[in-house]
Amino acid sequence: MPAPIILPQWGMGMNDGEVVKWLKAVGDPVAKGDQLVEIESSKVNAEVEATVDGTLGRIDVEEGRIVDVGTVLGYLLSEGDSESDLPAAAALTGSASTPAPPVVVAKLATAPAAAKGGKQIVTPRARRLAKEMGVDLVGIVGTGPSGRVTEDDVKAAGAVPGAGTAGTAAPLPESVIPVKVMVKLAGLRGVIARRMTESSTIPAVTLSTKADVTDSVAFQRSLVGEWRQYRLRPQYQDLVIAAVARALKETPKANAHLVGDEIRILDEINVGVAMAVTDGLLVPVIKNADKKSLLEIAQEVRDLAKKAKSNTLSIDEMTNSTFSITNLSSYNIDEFNPLLNPPEIGILGVGTVEEAAVVVDGEIAVRSIANLNLAFDHRAWDGAPAAEFVRQIAKFLSDPSWMKA
């Protein structure tokens, strides 16, 4: 029986994807695990793999088309199958890159357009086009499937004077300075750009605090000899991840996603760790971090870091985080405003650890003081509980005795 090639959902919040390129042609032999088609979504760029051995029997979705999650992209023929076994092609929903040119009138709303769950859904191509045209997506009602904003909606909004335009100022003329290098916002850089644009629309608040991590620094140093047998050097970030995982376990409301008008408190604690790579930033995920020892967390972080540098991270290793950490301590940065990674409602920005003179039990002592910055989505989380959460993290880092168990 022919096996369907289905567009999967790579992480919560992914609604659709664009077929960028078919990596196999009809009639090509394929083995289970072979990459069949490259997909671009608002979350990641990735490839759909073959689920069985066989040949590519039919392509149902051409390159450049955007379709919903769950759409059948084509079929694989296994041994004994023939073309006559293929089912009839289903009617597609979504938008194509070169659609017929119907007249589309922009629909403008007084509030942000909403699809299912009250959240505006914009196709990847429409978001890219809006950026190129300088069209503000807020206020555009989508005419695509499930209320999605499509390229046609963006074009129509751009053609209406004052509709969907970002501000009222006239566009600036292009620079006359000679261009040395032109870098397109495509691939990983494009995904990052779209994610940052999405994050910038969230009403986020950042709380900054300090933690006395003298004992954690001493504990980290004490592990150097013990971990030598694992060819592993302990890092301060390992302790931060463990502390965040414990704080999330004790504060379930912080371990949540905001999807549409729903706050979803999640059953797994998966900590995303931002890592800088040549082309930008990747956020691989420590799954079930609260159930892992400090050593297991450190080993997994090093493994993910190697894969990030070699561009070999799997989709599973990059999706379904419930909370994220971004660490700028090595850059001598104290305080900063980390950008949320939606649909997560919180992210911890880790600043420098500095030696400072503080009063302890009435006496001046030199202690290791860490800077912690918690950004949170104010729609889902209020200031007082968010402050208590970051205070918990500080407490766990101040007394690391629980990590020794």
Instruction: Give the active site residues.
Output: 378, 382
Residue type, 25: A
H helical segments located in 36-148: 124-133
**Residue 385 CA to its chain's centroid (Å):** 24
Distance CA 238, CA 303 (A): 13
Rg of the chain over all Cα atoms, to the nearest angstrom: 24
Alpha-carbon gap, residue 208 to 67, rounded angstroms: 42
What is the residue type of 317?
Answer: E
Q: Residue 153: enclosing H or E segment and its boundaries?
A: helix 151-159
Nearest to 7 by CA among 34, 40, 52, 42: 40
The backbone region for 139, taken as left when phi is positive above 0, alpha when psi lies in -120 to 50, beta otherwise, is left
Which residue, among 393, 388, 386, has the nearest Cα to 371 in the 3D structure?
A: 393
- The maximal CA–CA distance of the chain, rounded, in angstroms, is 86
